[in-house]
Structure 1
């Protein structure tokens, strides 16, 4: 059914997806227009937002998501947009409506019936999910890190396994018990999670697991390609590999995984990798939409094809940004990469183009500026490149400087969605929490 809107006489802009791109755009539009003549609506399947690059820290307990997440309902009240809790089920381009699936609670009872929201302009920013490439057993046995719920689930399983090993060692001090973690995917998520696990293991001794330390952690990082971190120069990728191996990570390259079961993984050569916990971080694809997108041009991987203005070539009233968009800019062979910096820049570009569209002005093409790539190896190291295309991607940085720049990316996100005053206050509070709060979230 169509959900009635008391503000139907207003220009209605609907944004589906409250990730980095969608939330930043909703904040900018709400701040610019408020609710007098415009109705800015943000739709998301979650009640809170957390910056996706932080999920590996949530998964290890190094970050308390309760302190860093943003509640959409309170945020929308502050910034002049409306928030709808729901899952995109499809769109009706002729009727200019977004269809939302029914929402159910954990007992299966319906909370919100299926309904539709009209739009004058629609921005699709529903992001990506992990691509398991239909590898047998992966969906059933591996953890993905696409949401806070998945990160929380992994943390609980990790702590349970650490407790099992600790109890075993208490009963039998010469036991060879270990926590075995296999991580598939040598990109940023897999590498950062591998390092963060050792940071967490080192802290567990302070919280009741006195006989457990990082020597009882066995982490295997598995990459099908010839090296980890293909987005970085080979020298930096090799430096990251050496750092991981010093920590104790076993790094396997040129090792495709062909199957997963409850006890571990099988590689293309037939070798076995036994694991108590398995994480799949080997690629992403656009999040599927159950009812389809009513004829919008799509890529083979399910992304929405967009013009340089970030509009769908099928429908000029529909924009797509972030990981769900496939944008190949003029003169480029490859699409804009699915990174947080791209999502931020796309949100800024669409904000400007929506303003121009409503004012009857010509739209401007999106210009992607590659500011480089940074990968954090927890408190142990950070590696990456700065300035990207501006200097050919050759300005390599490591260590403390790289760590400062890495942290600044999240701080910029905080300032964008909260404003300077609250954003800076949250940054200060974050520093204080690192001192006064426990090192790990154990519940």
Structure 2
């Protein structure tokens, strides 16, 4: 039978069914590779399930929040991507699993006004890859869910930016009647996201008020607080990187508070364990991540205290070889070292490439190979001010310290690698050129 003339139900009865849940950095790269390699050739039926309609590279969410990047220019539409790369996209959020029947349970999808789009449904699979990423871990802190914004999705980042613009306009209208520091932002958590957001906001807010909000003096009326419970910022990175970043943030006037625990968030600010109350019109919670709660009871699959799926070196889950996990939702062992691979975009990128090749081997009847994480170092972008980090630590047995323009170029190359994996070299090149040209006709920061 010619598979080109089959409908979906017929195709499911003949070829291997691969379902990828989650279209983040790793999930979208993986489903694109599988679609190109297997889906187009009729060797497998590949499906992506995600509750969103578009993909945006999560490490750049802080730039949407600051207004430095327009989501509409950088987002990838799942439906178009599936058409171009030989897979199928289905909207919905995974909420359960039946391993005996090999079915994924997907919740009903609704639009922004609550109107139903799709009813609940199940999706059969032969191989399942879970790449649902992570979500904010508020550690049960009172008021976080009601009054703080977590930069988990583009929609949240856009909501923060809208509130930021409104706060600046409100301060401009009020003038100096309320005294100094009329716009205060509290960022809770000084990991990479918090540090990068603080630096990006310093530049973006000054650019924003330069567009006619002349009653605001940025040095007097704008204050950014970066709060970290641990002894220093960037706890997951080297002390040298943390020290360099802290020094630069200090020179920018950003108030860094390490060793400071937050006990509550209100509509007016942040309550500290010391008893001090820190006024803030805008609060961002970036203090920790975990996998989704529903993964704790995913039909008997093994999880850890962060709800991550525990996987073998092959990235297969420990209790079901037909189910893989990658990215932030996977507790993957770091071969040759103690502990698990850190939740970084470069890890998800490597895992996507590995699983793609291993599934192809599996379909040929060949055994799977273990995945070995290659640490290419860590970089932290401080906006236009600087980029600091270390490169190729896993390759040379030590750290190569980099900063300035070279480090900035390396930081940007990480995103370009992702774009090339998703779109190919020519489309990435043309898209980059188009964005560079359009900047000359647009405001330097999003104004709404």
Pick the TM interval, shorter chain: over 0.9
Counterpart-to-counterpart distance in 2, 1:11 and 1:22:
18
- Is 1:195 equivalent to 2:185 in the alignment? no
Specify which of 160, 182, 186 is matched with residue 186 of structure 2: 182
Specify which of 243, 247, 250 is matched with residue 248 of structure 2: 243
**1:64 paired residue number:** 70
Alignment TM-score, normalising by the size of structure 2: 0.95
Q: Map residues 14-413 of structure 1 onto 2, 5 A cutoff.
A: 14-35=19-40, 36-169=42-175, 172=176, 175-215=179-219, 216-289=221-294, 292-413=297-418
Task: State the Cα distance separating 1:174 from its structure 2 match.
Answer: 8.7
Task: State the Cα distance separating 1:97 from its structure 2 match.
Answer: 0.7
SS of alignment partner, residue 7 of structure 1? helix
- Contact 2:208/2:447 (8 A) holds in 1: no
Task: State the Cα distance separating 1:107 from its structure 2 match.
Answer: 3.3
Task: State the Cα distance separating 1:256 from its structure 2 match.
Answer: 1.0
SS of alignment partner, residue 435 of structure 2? helix
- Contact 1:89/1:292 (8 A) holds in 2: no
- Contact 2:103/2:124 (8 A) holds in 1: yes
Query: How many residue pairs are counted as aligned between the two chains?
Result: 438
Specify which of 7, 11, 24 is matched with residue 11 of structure 2: 7
- Contact 1:91/1:292 (8 A) holds in 2: no
Alignment TM-score, normalising by the size of structure 1: 0.96
Unmatched segments (≥5 aa) in structure 1: none
SS of alignment partner, residue 184 of structure 2? strand
Counterpart-to-counterpart distance in 2, 1:213 and 1:193:
21
Task: State the Cα distance separating 1:213 from its structure 2 match.
Answer: 4.5
SS of alignment partner, residue 428 of structure 1? helix
Task: State the Cα distance separating 1:206 from its structure 2 match.
Answer: 4.1
Task: State the Cα distance separating 1:392 from its structure 2 match.
Answer: 4.0
**28-37 vs 296-305, which deviates more?**
28-37
SS of alignment partner, residue 284 of structure 2? strand
Q: Which digits, 9 at most, give the CA deviation of each residue in 1:69-109, with x for residues without a partner?
A: 00001111001100001000111111111110011223333
Counterpart-to-counterpart distance in 2, 1:407 and 1:330:
28
**2:420 paired residue number:** 415
Task: State the Cα distance separating 1:313 from its structure 2 match.
Answer: 1.5
Q: Call closer, same or farther: CA 1:416–1:94 in 2, change over 3 Å.
A: same
Unmatched segments (≥5 aa) in structure 2: 1-7
Q: Which digits, 9 at most, give the CA deviation of each residue in 1:343-394, with x for residues without a partner?
A: 0001011111111111110111001001011000100111111002223442
- Contact 1:88/1:99 (8 A) holds in 2: yes
Task: State the Cα distance separating 1:436 from its structure 2 match.
Answer: 2.9
- Contact 2:51/2:109 (8 A) holds in 1: no
Alpha carbon RMSD of aligned pairs, Å? 1.6
Any runs of at least 4 consecutive aligned residues in structure 1 with deviations exceeding 6 A, and if so which? none
